[in-house]
Amino acid sequence: MIRKTLPGKRWLRCLPLLLLAAIPAMAHENTHYVNDSGATAWMLTSTTLVLLMVPGLAMFYGGLVRTKNVLGTMMHSFAALAVIGVLWAILGYALCFGKSSLHGFIGWDRSLMWLNSIDDTIMSANIPEYVYAMFQGKFAIITPAVIAGAVAERITFKGWMAFIALWFLVVYAPLCHWVWAPDGWLFNMGARGLIDFAGGTVVEICSGVSGLTLALYIGARHGYPKTAMPPNNLTMTLIGAGLLWVGWFGFNAGSSVASNLDTARALCMTQVAAAAGALTWVLIESVRDEHATSLGMASGILAGLVAITPAAGVVKVSGAVALGVAASIACYYMIQVKNKLGYDDSLDVFGVHGVAGIVGTILLTFFIRPSWWAEAGHRVVGWGLTQQLKVQTIGVAATIAFTAVGTLIVAFIIDKLIGLRVSESVEKTGLDHDIHGERGYNLTNLN
Amino acid sequence: MKLITAIIKEEMLDEVREALITAGIERITVTRVSGHGRQQEKLVQRGKTIIPNLIPKVQITIACNDEFEDIVIDTILHNARQNGGTVGDGKIFVQDLKECIRIRTGERGGQAI
């Protein structure tokens, strides 16, 4: 008797445990993915590589300003790491990759605040969602950091910190949601959505147009363009450009969110376009100007990298070369136009990132590989170049219009509340000494 | 001929240089120097106050003919003062200049300046 009841009792005792075990299994039925260590390893590497771009950018910009502003300028990039680094984890990810709300204007998912709900999540791409969240977070950091170049040598540190925080919420988060969230309107436009592989619109056009808007809002540097403002350290700028090139492999190849053929394609196109951009810029300078300059080499690298950013997933090698060449030509001539017009986009954020971003996002349509068209034709019969070109143009136009208006509003608010522009005396003394109480090049001062 | 040496604050260089050019003095030499006088600079690093012994300054050297001496001195005086005059604004030294030779032509004296 006793022997007979015991197993039954055991079974009964186990029942609630079995039910408990079944509940999470049911809840995760449609999200039951296994970690792929290869993909995860590459995404961890990519995330790290994109982070490397921030100090790379700091060096690139830091070398281009005058001696008295080198630390202040490098601090702008590092400020983005600090400010957006915190904001992203608290609510940025929820705003960008939560469910569409406010009629698709922005994403929101309360459970994603503090990255709360992803603690156990392995995504459908077979990587932990933590890696994906941090990877995307690096894009949110580098975008405002790029803007700093347009207003270098004259923006207050306090104003800059406040500006990027508000700008991230008002401009970056909605745009990122439109283009990259699975339910964003640009992501779903047409047969296969707006083609923006790694941020031609979200990162490059957005930072370029924001930079231009902010530069026009706060005005030119004292003495510009009459006074010469030569770069203090082009050696550092070249190292920065090199680090950006290296980091861009994570930026583009990581955007495949996998470790496979697509990743290899993106990496290859990135390399080729950057080289084509650099070569073109140096050739233009050799023919048109007296010298091939190191700044030209660095600018060409950037132009090529920016142009391939939206395209790395869809073009083949000839397309990558074409985009790199086109971007360098367009950027070079845009900078001549800037010099004629006389506005002070100090380190050519619009001239390089804005222009090459637009060139890449539009022109990529002409170089898409056949297999992409075949898949698009499967989804919408007769989908062709004209239709996709329209999608790309709408994406670019929407980005430019939204970014310009959003940036203007944010700049106005921060300017009235905190103040964006340093006083004339601080501008003359330099940001390093007056705002940070330090000097960038103490090695030249005996002590 | 006079040799005028002015030691000024780094941040006043742009202003002094622009004013000198406006006044017609376009031939100057500028050097970074360090030194100490009565000015004290305070730096705070990681919460700790540091007083550096040597403060960076800029030295401007100008050789000129006698009739330009007052113009140079007045221009520097009026433009090197920070906030109407603070400790550390610097000094101007004036010396007689024995000779001046232009290397390219070998000219000597006032016309070589």
pLDDT (tens digit per residue) in B10-42: 889 988 999 999 999 999 999 999 998 888 888
pLDDT at position A272? 98
Is any Cβ of chain B less than 8 angstroms from the Cβ of A430? yes
Task: For B51-92, write each residue's pLDDT tens digit.
Answer: 878 888 999 999 999 999 999 999 999 999 988 899 999 999
Query: Residue A113 and residue A115: Cα distance in Å, rounded?
Result: 5
Is any Cβ of chain B less than 8 angstroms from the Cβ of A68? yes
Contact A447 B32 (CB under 8 A): no
Q: Please report the domains of chain A, with CATH numbers, ordered by start residue.
A: 50-436 (1.10.3430.10)
Contact A446 B54 (CB under 8 A): yes
Tokens of A23: 């509940």
User: Bridge-partner residues for A174, per DSSP?
Assistant: none
Q: Report the pLDDT averaged over residues A284-298.
A: 95
Q: At residue A1, does pLDDT exceed 60?
A: no
Q: Find the helix packing angle between A157-167 and A70-87, rounded to 10°.
A: 30
Reduced to 3 states (helix: H, G, I; strand: E, B; else coil), residue A24 is helix
Cβ-based burial of A338 (10 A; exposed 0-12, middle 13-18, buried ≥19): middle
Q: Report the pLDDT averaged over residues A43-57.
A: 98
Question: In terms of residue numbers, what domain contains B82?
Answer: 2-112
- CA neighbor of A106 nearest in space, from A154, A171, A48, A62: A171
Query: Residue A285 and residue A287: Cα distance in Å, rounded?
Result: 5
Interface test with A, best of B7, B8, B9, B10 (most A CBs within 10 A): B10
Mean pLDDT of chain A: 92
Is any Cβ of chain B less than 8 angstroms from the Cβ of A428? yes
Task: For A120-150, write each residue's pLDDT tens digit.
Answer: 999 999 999 999 999 999 999 999 999 999 9
Looking at this protein, which amino acid is placed at residue A37?
A: S
pLDDT at position A447? 67
Q: At residue A282, does pLDDT exceed 90?
A: yes
Is any Cβ of chain A less than 8 angstroms from the Cβ of B48? no
Q: At residue A27, does pLDDT exceed 50?
A: no
pLDDT at position B46? 85
| CATH number of the domain encompassing residue B31 | 3.30.70.120
* pTM of the predicted protein model: 0.89
Q: Closest partner residue to A447 among B14, B15, B53, by Cβ?
A: B53
Interface test with B, best of A222, A422, A427, A429 (most B CBs within 10 A): A429
Task: Count Cα neighbours of A308 within 13 Å in the Cβ-side half-sphere.
Answer: 40
Q: What whole-number percentage of chain A has pLDDT above 70?
A: 93
Total of domains in chain B = 1
Beta strands in B1-113 (DSSP E): 2-8, 29-35, 43-45, 48-50, 55-64, 90-96
End-to-end CA distance of chain B: 9
